[in-house]
Structure 1
């Protein structure tokens, strides 16, 4: 939880609020078909429902400190959008929204594209994700 101290008092922001802001910001970007993807996402969604949280933050993970936040976004992109451009747009929008709404500094936004979504429900890959293992985490070095 973030605790922002001012001369007039403390504002406490729950991690789940930061995650919701990130999820909504990612969904605002043109080219994002959906958040989440893969078996890990499905399990996280089930756990989230059991705990009573809403489905709004599926595909988003956050680490929140006293004054900073780091975000991980997992998403599907609409075909034939540029994966790189959509990821950069998501990264920028997530940073802008979190920083302007919470006052937290966003140190990083890691974006993982797990699948493509095809117009008109053509299904080329959309239904295959649950039968395929989740991809390994991306390397953090070049």
Structure 2
């Protein structure tokens, strides 16, 4: 992901747009975890997105949800790279069967860009999407199957 290099280039490029994060009174730094969470939450809200992450991650999350006090990470299936002014986002998604993948991917990009740029002030330079699986109705493992597989 080119965000760091792109951010450095943008900071030194003549005529680059000013950033609300870099001012004459100081610099605001947004940690990667913040961008991961915003991007993950935005992507999950897109119709046709069943989950983020791989099928193996989905099974692990199903198990961990039953452990008291544990939580599924909002940023699971999301990797980001941030600079002072820009961010790049990589997502791994599982889509619902019948959902048009190209349309879902386009909507994910729009929602992620809007959520991250609005929420952080960082310019999103790219959103890369890997469709790792398609969820076919009846394909999900019931919770008991996950338990047996782990024993």
The TM-score normalised by the length of structure 1 is 0.70
Q: CA deviation digits over 1:24-62, x for unaligned, max 9?
A: 0101101100000055x57xx8xxxxxx99621110000
The DSSP-based 3-state class of the residue aligned with 1:21 is helix
TM-score, structure 2 as length reference: 0.66
CA positional deviation for 1:21: 0.4
Superposition RMSD in Å: 2.8
* Kept in 1: contact 2:29–2:84 (CA 8 A): no
Change (3 A) 1:79 1:53: closer
Where structure 1 has 5 or more consecutive residues not aligned to the other structure, the ranges are 46-51, 128-142
1:5 positional shift: 2.3
Structure with the bigger percentage of strand: 1
Query: Which of the two has higher C-alpha Rg?
Result: 2
The equivalent residue for 1:70 is 88
Describe the SS at the equivalent of 1:71: strand
Specify the SS of the correspondent of 2:92.
strand
Q: Which gives a bigger RCO, structure 1 or 2 (Cα 8 Å, sep 6+)?
A: 2
* Paired residue total: 115
State the secondary structure of the residue aligned to 1:12. coil
Give the unaligned 5+ runs of structure 2: 8-19, 62-69, 142-151
Give 2:13's aligned residue: none
Task: Give the equivalent residue in structure 1 for 2:103.
Answer: 85
